[in-house]
Amino acid sequence: MPSVPIHPPNPPATKAPSPLPPILHTPTGLAILELQSTIHFAPGAMEEDGITPIGRLEFPESVMTGEWDGKSVWAYIGEHQRMRGEVKKLKTPLGILKRKTVGEPPSEGVEGEELEIAEIVKYKIIFSERPEPVS
Task: Indicate the helix (H) or strand (E) that contains 90.
Answer: strand 81-101
Q: What's the pLDDT at 26? A: 66
Q: What's the pLDDT at 55? A: 81
Q: What's the pLDDT at 8? A: 78
What is the CB neighbour count within 10 angstroms for residue 70? 13
In terms of Cβ atoms closer than 10 Å to its own Cβ (0-12, 13-18, 19+), residue 11 is exposed
Number of domains the chain contains: 1
Who contacts 6 (Cβ-Cβ below 8 Å, separation ≥6)? 97, 114, 115, 116, 117
Q: What's the pLDDT at 19? A: 66
Q: What's the pLDDT at 104? A: 58
Q: What's the pLDDT at 91? A: 92
71 in a domain, yes or no? Answer: yes
Written as one letter, the residue type at 63 is V
76 in a domain, yes or no? Answer: yes
29 in a domain, yes or no? Answer: yes
124 in a domain, yes or no? Answer: yes
pLDDT lower than 70: segments of the chain: 1, 11-20, 23, 25-30, 41, 44-48, 62-64, 101-112
**Angle at the Cα of 55 (from 119 to 34), degrees rounded to 5?**
45
10 in a domain, yes or no? Answer: no
Q: Are 94 and 118 in contact (CB under 8 A)?
A: no
Residue 43 to residue 104: CA distance in whole angstroms: 45
Q: What's the pLDDT at 107? A: 47
**Please, which residues bridge with residue 114 across strands?**
100
Tell me which residue range forms the domain holding 64: 24-36+54-133
